Structures are given as structure tokens and as C-alpha cells.
Amino acid sequence: MLSAGKILKPKTNQKLHHSTYYAIIGLVLLVAILVLGLEVLALKPTFKIIHSRYQAKDLQHHYSKTSTPPVVIKAVVAEPVANVPINSSIHLPILLYHKTPANFDFQMKHLADAGYTPVFMQEVYMILAGKMAGPAKPVAITFDDGFSDQLKAAEILKKYNFKSTFYVFTGGELSGWCIGIERTSTTCGDSYLNWAQIKTLQGSGLVEIGSHTVDHLNLASLSEVAQRFQIVESKRILEQNLGVSVLSFCYPYGNYNAITERLVKEAGYNNATTTVGSEYQGPNSLFRLSRIRDTKDLR
């Protein structure tokens, strides 16, 4: 019996040793899990901040929710060119304005005194496409962005009975509803023409409304899907609200690429303006029309 007891005693101690070992391991694991859980909870706000930053970064890419990631293609950036006729170009200056210049009345009087006849951008297209003869000294007067300040220019244009084209953007989610005709946030951005004002301008018979995209983004930096949305959707919204065909387009910032030009054509526009500085236009450049910023050099 003593011999058996001596044999059993070490086994009992061994079992106790293993039980204690497993208990310690289990306790360590439990503490580790609790600590890890507390750290995750503590980092939750940080995770939210990082997520919101990525969301903001996505918005900066400026493409629709259904688009593929942007395919960045080198933009054709507007650069001044010499004011000389090339490729059978004709002298047809297109003036570019944003807000109403302080000397706008003086500039318009200068045009009238110099014998210029203002035409719509649709008439520019017709002249260059050989579909109409046009006046002896045609000129186009264009305003970008649709600022409400442009109502002052509209009054001066009416005084001289001058035609003009106003390129407007509609505004939307990507621009934070801060810009354009459908702007809802009044704590950011400039003041823009609303639908009633634009309809009044159009109804005067002296203003053609053209598209300047939905959100005034640099089209050349966007994917094809995103560009198509900006180009097509703005046309749809304008035509739906104004009840007329919108056929003239203006590249925001004057930047575009080969995809942009193709999409503008496919959308149904028949002309597009840049910010390249020249007084001359050619029949092969209907979607790359040049513009100048002042009448001082016109004779």
C-alpha cells in the first residue's frame, strides 16, 4: 500500500501542475482579449476619421457613383497662340467674360462704333460650317459660369441690342450644392443666376444658353464615365427646364482631351469653346474655338 501511495502522489501533483498552467494561460488570453477590445473601442473614432477622409478623397476625384476609377489623360491646356489666320480661318473674335467688367459699356460701344455685329454661338457654328454667310464683321460675346452679377452685363447688352451666349453650370452633389443654378447652400460660393432669371434672359431673344457642365470640374482629369455624366447630364437638365435644344458647350477652365471632345460631339453639341487666345476660327476647330478677353485690340 505504501508503495502504491508513493506512486500515486507524483501523478496527483502533476495533474495540479497542469491545471494551474492551463488556468494561467487562459487568464492571460482573457486579459489579452479584453485589452484588445478596449483598444479597438478607443480607436473607433480614429477609424471614422480615416474613413471620412477617404470619402472626401473620393469626392475630390469628381466622378459619379456608378463610374469606374478616374483614368487621367494629359489635358490639352489652353495656351495663347498668335493672332494669325491659319487653315482657312476667318476673323471671328469670341469674347470671354465672367463677371461684368467695370468698363463693359465702353467695350460694347467700341464694338458698335467699329461696325461689329454680335452673333450667337449657334450662328458661329453656322458660319464656320458654311450654313450661313454671316455679317461682314461678326463677333460673339460669351459669359461663363452664370454669376448673378452678369445681369448687369445683360442690361448693357440689351441697350445695344447685342446678342450673347451665357454658359451656365447646373450644380450638384459633387460641388456640394454650392454653385450653379440649382445651388441650395448659400454659405459657400458666389451668387448665381436662378432658373427664373435664366428663363427671362433666354426669353429676351438676345441670349443663348450654353452648357458649362454640372459641377464645373476639370474634365481632362476625369474618367470617361465621369466626363460623360458632366457633359450629358447638364444638357439634359438645361433642355428639360428651358424647353429648347442646348447645342453650345464650354470646357471648364478651358481644359479638355481627346475623350472630352469626342463625348461633347456624341452628346449632341455642335460647338465648344476653350480659353485659347485668338481672334480667328476655322471650320475644323468647331470643338476647339478660341476666345479673347477684351475688345481693346479689335479694329
Task: For residues 51 and 32, give the distance between their C-alpha atoms in angstroms, rounded to a whole number.
Answer: 27
Of residues 124, 145, 71, the one with CA closest to residue 288? 124
DSSP 137: S
Mean pLDDT of the chain: 82
| pLDDT given at position 142 | 98
Who's near 265: CB < 8 A, 6+ residues apart? 287
Give the contacts of 141 (CB within 8 A, at least 6 positions apart). Answer: 95, 97, 118, 157, 162, 163, 164, 165
Q: How many residues are given for the chain?
A: 299
Closest to 280 in 3D by CA, of 138, 157, 72: 138
pLDDT score at 103: 97
CATH fold label, 90-281: TIM Barrel (3.20.20)
What is the per-residue burial (b if ≥16 Cβ within 10 Å, else e) of 42-75? eeeeeeeeeeeeeeeeeeebbbbeebeebeebeb
Identify the segments of the chain with pLDDT beneath 70.
1-23, 26, 28, 31-88
Task: Determine the pLDDT at residue 36.
Answer: 58
Question: Considering the entire predicted model, what is its pTM?
Answer: 0.73
| Structural domain boundaries in the chain | 1-60, 90-281
- pLDDT at residue 56 in the model: 34
pLDDT of residue 153: 98
Digit-coded pLDDT (tens) for 194-215: 999 999 999 999 999 999 999 9
- What pLDDT is attached to residue 186? 85
User: 291 near 121, Cβ under 8 Å?
Assistant: no
